Structure 1
């Protein structure tokens, strides 16, 4: 962590039953810290519980009417283990100090009477320790999240490239079959064969139509698979209104939703436009909604919401959350949801390619997409698209991130060694 510490970013709770001492301490420290005071452990606990996440440091006297300081610190430790706890004791309270270390896991104990400037320095060091610890935790979570995204992206890109390569060989073989089907009626005519003269002409007519329909579906699927790993050919310079895009996609899929009596609710709010390839973003939400129309519960409900948001890496974007009320998926199925040819419903007429294509459309725009269980009972898709994909640094950003991790680690080690 570099630069000046913000000692008022989080609050300090100071507890002492000597009211005059407490008031003087608040008056002395208020310019440096956001300080909250209490005259007993019970009141202090009530203040802490109002907003536990806002407190970084707790300083308490040991001997007070009612609950003792060690009891308060033990409760605070159970509620917020990362809070920094300091106990003020008299020389005669050595047993209490030992108990505080063992039970309350305090950061430090100071002996009374304590000099105010000395206590200010102690609280500063404690606040610095808390801030460094917090940034280190945030960076580690960000690092693990980035590694998880990288592993998933690498896996899906490999699957997409494999599917595209397989598509090339399949298409070559199917071209001959398609040609045969297209030329079959003409060949029958050249041989002077009248289909009506056959013993079961309806069978041959129906079978031929089914074969043509199935072949066209397979060829369309192969075309989509081939395009999945490819980045957009046009620049992402269109100004795209996501409310308009999603609303239009809902209208295009309306017949499919109505057929299964699925209600779709778009919570339209004002969000900034994103720079993107308009055709690809249209395709993204068309695929997501098509997958929902095929897999959401019949008579079910789909909720879609938008909000301006920022990624952990710092870039601004628009978050779209799409969730349904079922059917529920196991954790193992959640991990496979973006895999090619994986279908939620298990219906044989589905190819399971929509979500894989959606993943790559988001990936090509430097966005993120993940899925988790919805509180509604089904799946919850979180999509974050950047306002300007071109402004997101790649190698430079990774280098800066690693630099922040190393700085936090050095500061952490320094604090552990007592400066």
Structure 2
């Protein structure tokens, strides 16, 4: 969060609102409201992105305590500060019992005290935003994993039930057909189980490489921001970062599953770096653009992929890093992530020259529909 924190100040006195805005607007973006209802209208606006709420207590109609309670219920991530000229027992007890208050400031406001309180509140807001985004990332990725693993696990369970049923009636079989069926079922169960394990493994490894998911605010941010943030946090080995270049031909918002998209991007970058390990003149270019549909391209000048393997990469678990523990499920997993929201991967390669993987996203108009 490099931009200024946004503060919403609520006070029925117009002069008080103007004084507050003039006092802090050099450091903070300030919005003002003359009452509780007006403040709630501002908070309800899409993209309002309020970080800190500062409200007077004594106002005509609904008092600041009511606003604090509603904000705690509907906007718990906001940092809340109460301003009052009546530091009496009734106000303090209601405030303390009413929810999480970061600070209580007394009128008349002291500019230095207000600035210090807002600086601390802004830091607290950043921490809350990071925790909130982490929870959203977990929710999003767990939902994908649950969806993705449901079918193969159901297949395994179905084969197991069929085997159990056939075995219980084996007296009615000649033996050989039953053995053939069991062998076929076991093979399918093994394939599905391996896929489940590989999906989980790919997910865990991707999370390790992209521990900070670049979806800082609602809407997921743009592709350029996502790539830039990943390059900042990726655990490059010495000298590797210098091999990676970012080219932006056109930017676009990553609305669908931004945290999963970041994991795919991290996995593709890892593949490119592995392909270039020990190669002189290594280069990786990541291109963000919009043509018929939005895309992110990861291109390396590594050894390329043999044609016999290239046609199978997104269909079968083939690996060029089997000796290093590679399972071959990585690109299949990445393609399934892209397909889950209407996109797909495209892999192109010239053996001995380069490999290009394109993350194709849904058409922007279709995504908004």
TM category (shorter chain) comes to 0.3 to 0.5
Q: Relative contact order, CA 8 A, sep 6+: which one is greater? A: 1
**TM score, norm. by length of structure 1:** 0.40
Normalising by structure 2, we get a TM-score of 0.45
